[in-house]
Amino acid sequence: MPPAAPIAPLLGPALGLSAVLFTLGVAGVLLRRNAIVLFMCIELMLNAVNLAFIALAQLQGVGGQIMVFFVMTVAAAEAAVGLAIILAIFRHNQSVDLQNVNLLHG
Amino acid sequence: MNALDTTTPIGATLALLPELLLTGWSLVVLLVVAWRHEGERDSRFAGWLSFAGILLSLAAVLGMWHGDWHSEGIAHMVALDSFRYASATLILLLAGASTLLSLRYLGRQRLLAPEYYPLILFATIGMLVMAAATDLILIFLGLEVMSVAVYVLSGFDRYRRSSAEAALKYFLIGAFASSFLLYGIALIWGATGQTNLSLIAAQLAGGAPTMASLGLGLLLIGFGFKVSAVPFHMWAPDVYDGAPTPVTGFMATGVKAAAFVALVRVLDQGFIAQAHQWQPVIGVLAVATILVGNITALAQESLKRMLAYSSVAHAGYLLVAAWPGTAFGSGAVLFYLAAYCVTTLASFGILAAIEHVGSRTVLIDDLEGLFSKRPWGATSLAVCLLSLLGFPGTFGFVGKWYIISSVLREGSWILPVAVAVGSLISIGYYLPVITAMTFKPERTIDAHRQVAFSRAGKAIVAMAVLLILLFGVWPTALLNSAVRSARTLAPQAVVTEVP
Amino acid sequence: MTEIVFYILAAAAVVGAALCVLQRSPIASALWLMTTMFSLACIFVLLGAQLIGILQVLVYVGAVLVLFLFVVMLLNLSHEGSDLRGPWGVGAAVVVIGLLAVELFGLWQYTPARLAREVAQAPQLADPRLAFPAALSMHAVATPNVVEDLAAPLFQTYLIPFEVTSVLLLAAAVGAVVLAKRRI
């Protein structure tokens, strides 16, 4: 066994950081009403997931980095569709505030 | 010959034959609609063309099923088992029926954008991938393909505000749920180093690390949103209400079927050793979903919202069936999915025909006297509602009875009681619709003048009603087939190398 | 040294994320999100994922966020008032966030040794270097070509997911066109 330097010393802090960012993203989704900001918070959550993948990839191998590829593709696809939907709603409401979208209809 | 090695390019191509055929066909449809997209005629042509593609893919699935194609060793990425074939058959039948139900509706409501049918095909491809995937990352990607297409379809009626709002709500909640699902996948991968379900099961056979349990919890939250289980259901009624009716039918059946099939595969194939961890969660979700869904449905005046809440309640029954984690339970999921999907799709098909052009809420009061003007349509709707209710002699009754017996076999009595109580509550909102149709006189003379079934729509609804009655009295063959399919779900034996 | 850099970047990422959530103007939110994404890109490089770090800058900052900014400016949204939810919403949010935080912050405790112990479930395998053979090969050989390491599994093991993403992008392109077109 090679007396190498400790593997992945930053695993815990990196996972912790990803947890903090994910929680902040969830907080944003729950607290804000502006659809675009909401969507940004969802992107923040996806970034937190990417960080978790990369942190764990230090131990589990390169598969995690490939997962991040797929997450990025998904994020790009969602951004295209999501922003188109936001444009469509803006044409109807002249606003992207979810208060004008009766979210809690019952 | 029938054993495929899915790690080789040829094997992977053959294993994905139905999906590849459908993808190729959707590209053809996309080209055709780019060339011809002028009026209702061209839209219908695109619809029939898509239907042909779905039949082609269905033929491939049935061929694989009949030829008993199976994988050599562990299924890498794509499963080749009866569970996949059975669920793919169901999904393709739903997609085909939704396509035919849309033909007349799109013309009537002036929704003639040519991309409608290609998007239905894309969503179907996503569902097929979800039903086939044995790898968490592939399940996620299939889910995204399906969701992206369905987000757009639910906002397809862009001149109507509620449709755009439905798309926005569905999109935001869907993307939110996807991130939970993905975080779960990340943690499970971190704890096991695997995304293949069988390999995960092999890793976790001796017990799950905290990280894997945390991941499983996040995964269940994500799935909870997708199947609209009760704390995560609040999007469903608004989205189902706002989307164009045939799309609602497709969402309430196809999306739910794909999500449940993937959930059952994840639980039964990947986390069967952790059953004691996820069973309480599924049980609580199921009871909450049944009670909240049924009780809220009582208060609805719009037929579409009532059906939306009823579909939430049915997600609860399906969760009950997913609870045991045995072949009988998963067979019950398949069987009840078939019952629920056939019935719900037919109800939404009838609803699409009843809707007036322009105003698109059908109140329950609007149905008064439908029986005297449209006896066949009213009778079909009544049969569908009775089946959803679980009336003896219908498909829905056999499904519920089978769910209850599969759960009792595992020694739980709370869940069967919840199913029974839920069904009793549901009498309170299904029966008034039937009495309104049959016993009350119509409000105005021409109240039902606009009801318009297309020939294809009539055929679909008639077929659904026949199936409901047929499987209500003669369910044995389908039941056996469902259980046999579910048996193939057991985790495949993995030879682990000890370092 | 690496750790100090990591914590500086982590602080920048958290501050950026918090301000992205709290800033009133969508443009400010987007710019703070950009800070977070840049810091994350640097952290990725620090954690040994150089290519992903570059892609993070190219895809997220270069494409996704620019798209966001573009839409915000197109819709001229920067002059809206506070859009925080009412007291009920805030209350519910606090409960949910609290639960999530309690659940997730356990991740902080993870060291490679602990993960190895849990994964291996056997005392003799508690050495991370034994439990994670992949980690060894990644650290032992400094490959000259970072892309090569990723390309091989991407086009072999993960070929099918890769193909599915092409359908995803097509569906998204068609969908975006349908929704954003002014007239059918």
What distance in Å separates the CA atoms of residue B312 and residue B293, rounded to the nearest whole number? 5
Flag whether pLDDT at C125 surpasses 60.
no
Flag whether pLDDT at C143 surpasses 60.
no
Instruction: Tell me the average pLDDT across C64-86.
Output: 80
Q: Which of residues C116 and C166 earns the better pLDDT score?
A: C166
- Do the chains contact at B167 and C179, CB–CB below 8 Å? yes
Residue A69 belongs to some domain of the structure: yes
Residue A72 belongs to some domain of the structure: yes
**Looking at the complex, does the CB of residue A25 fall below 8 Å from at least one CB of chain C?**
yes
The partner residue sitting opposite A62, judged by closest CB among C56, C90, C153, is C153
Q: pLDDT at position C122, please?
A: 47
Residue B210 belongs to what domain range?
2-487
Residue A91 belongs to some domain of the structure: yes
Q: How far is CA B403 from CA A39, B136, C180, in A?
A: 39, 27, 45
- Do the chains contact at C161 and A70, CB–CB below 8 Å? yes
Domain total in chain A: 1
Residue C17 belongs to what domain range?
1-109
Shortest Cα–Cα distance, B344 to chain A (Å): 22
**Looking at the complex, does the CB of residue B184 fall below 8 Å from at least one CB of chain C?**
no
- Do the chains contact at B168 and A59, CB–CB below 8 Å? no
User: In sequence order, what are the residues at sequence separation of 6 or more whose Cβ sits closer than 8 angstroms to the Cβ of residue B377?
Assistant: B350, B353, B354, B370, B451, B453, B461
Q: pLDDT at position C120, please?
A: 66
Residue B492 belongs to some domain of the structure: no
User: In sequence order, what are the residues at sequence separation of 6 or more whose Cβ sits closer than 8 angstroms to the Cβ of residue B346?
Assistant: B380, B384, B460, B461, B464, B465, B468
At residue A34, the 3 state secondary structure works out as strand
What distance in Å separates the CA atoms of residue B14 and residue B254, rounded to the nearest whole number? 24
Residue C103 belongs to some domain of the structure: yes
For residue C94, name the pLDDT band (cuts at 50, 70, 90): confident
Q: pLDDT at position C101, please?
A: 82
Flag whether pLDDT at C130 surpasses 70.
no
Q: Is the CA virtual torsion B75, B77, B79, B83 positive or negative?
A: positive
Helices C133-140 and A35-60: crossing angle in degrees, nearest 10, is 90
Q: How many CB pairs under 8 A join A and B?
A: 111
Q: pLDDT at position B494, please?
A: 60
Residues of A in contact with B158 (CB under 8 A): 88, 91
Which ranges constitute the DSSP H helices of chain C? 2-22, 26-46, 50-55, 66-75, 87-104, 112-120, 128-131, 133-140, 146-155, 159-180
The partner residue sitting opposite A88, judged by closest CB among B158, B189, B241, is B158
For residue C182, name the pLDDT band (cuts at 50, 70, 90): low
Flag whether pLDDT at C160 surpasses 50.
yes
Structure tokens at C78: 């920067």
Residue C53 belongs to some domain of the structure: yes
- Do the chains contact at A102 and B164, CB–CB below 8 Å? no
Residue B495 belongs to some domain of the structure: no
Q: pLDDT at position B215, please?
A: 92
Residues of A in contact with B172 (CB under 8 A): 29, 35, 38-39, 42, 82
**Domain holding C2: CATH number?**
1.20.120.1200
- Do the chains contact at B186 and A39, CB–CB below 8 Å? no
Q: How many CB pairs under 8 A join B and C?
A: 95
Shortest Cα–Cα distance, A13 to chain C (Å): 6
Flag whether pLDDT at C157 surpasses 90.
no
> Which residues partner with A34 through β-bridges?
A97
Flag whether pLDDT at A29 surpasses 80.
yes
Average pLDDT, chain A: 85
Q: How many CB pairs under 8 A join A and C?
A: 267
Residue C136 belongs to some domain of the structure: no
**Looking at the complex, does the CB of residue B121 fall below 8 Å from at least one CB of chain C?**
no
**Looking at the complex, does the CB of residue B38 fall below 8 Å from at least one CB of chain C?**
no
Domain total in chain B: 1
Residues of B in contact with A38 (CB under 8 A): 172
Q: pLDDT at position A58, please?
A: 86
Flag whether pLDDT at C170 surpasses 70.
yes
- C partners (3+ CB pairs within 8 A) are A, B
Flag whether pLDDT at C81 surpasses 70.
no
The partner residue sitting opposite A35, judged by closest CB among B140, B155, B172, is B172
- Do the chains contact at B138 and C161, CB–CB below 8 Å? yes
Q: pLDDT at position C137, please?
A: 57
Residue in A closest to B296 by C-alpha: A106
Domain total in chain C: 1
- Do the chains contact at C129 and A34, CB–CB below 8 Å? no
The partner residue sitting opposite A37, judged by closest CB among C29, C97, C115, is C29
Instruction: Tell me the average pLDDT across C140-156.
Output: 73
Residues 97-126 of C with CB under 8 A from A: 97, 100-101, 104-105, 107-112, 115-116
Shortest Cα–Cα distance, B180 to chain A (Å): 8
Residues of B in contact with C130 (CB under 8 A): 499
Residue C123 belongs to some domain of the structure: no
Least confident of B346-355, C32-41, C89-98, C107-116: C107-116
Question: What's the CA angle centered on A53, arms B194 and A86, to 5 degrees?
Answer: 115
Residues of C in contact with B216 (CB under 8 A): none
At residue A97, the 3 state secondary structure works out as strand
Flag whether pLDDT at C138 surpasses 60.
no
Residues 24-53 of A with CB under 8 A from B: 25, 29, 35, 38-39, 42, 45-46, 48-49, 52-53
- Do the chains contact at B179 and A46, CB–CB below 8 Å? yes
Residue in B closest to A105 by C-alpha: B238
pLDDT single digits (tens) C35-47: 999 999 999 999 9
Q: pLDDT at position C24, please?
A: 84
The partner residue sitting opposite C20, judged by closest CB among A15, A40, A50, is A40
Q: pLDDT at position B499, please?
A: 39
Residue C179 belongs to some domain of the structure: no
Residue A24 belongs to what domain range?
11-95
For residue C89, name the pLDDT band (cuts at 50, 70, 90): confident
Contact present, B149 and B176 (Cβ < 8 Å): no
Least confident of A39-43, A96-100, A101-105, C59-63: A101-105
Contact present, B353 and B452 (Cβ < 8 Å): yes
Contact present, C66 and C39 (Cβ < 8 Å): no
Regions of chain B with pLDDT less than 50: 496-499
pLDDT single digits (tens) A71-93: 999 999 999 999 999 998 888 88
Which ranges constitute the DSSP H helices of B323-444? 327-354, 370-373, 375-389, 395-408, 414-438
**Domain holding A17: CATH number?**
1.10.287.3510
**Looking at the complex, does the CB of residue A19 fall below 8 Å from at least one CB of chain B?**
no
Gyration radius (Cα) of chain B, Å: 22
Residue A106 belongs to some domain of the structure: no
Residues of A in contact with C135 (CB under 8 A): 7-8, 58-61
- A partners (3+ CB pairs within 8 A) are B, C
Structure tokens at B482: 């469902």
- Do the chains contact at B142 and C104, CB–CB below 8 Å? no
- Do the chains contact at A45 and B176, CB–CB below 8 Å? yes
Q: Which of residues C100 and C17 earns the better pLDDT score?
A: C17
The partner residue sitting opposite C26, judged by closest CB among A37, A57, A80, is A37
Residue B493 belongs to some domain of the structure: no
Flag whether pLDDT at C128 surpasses 80.
no
DSSP string for C138-165 = HHHS--S-HHHHHHHHHHTTTHHHHHHH
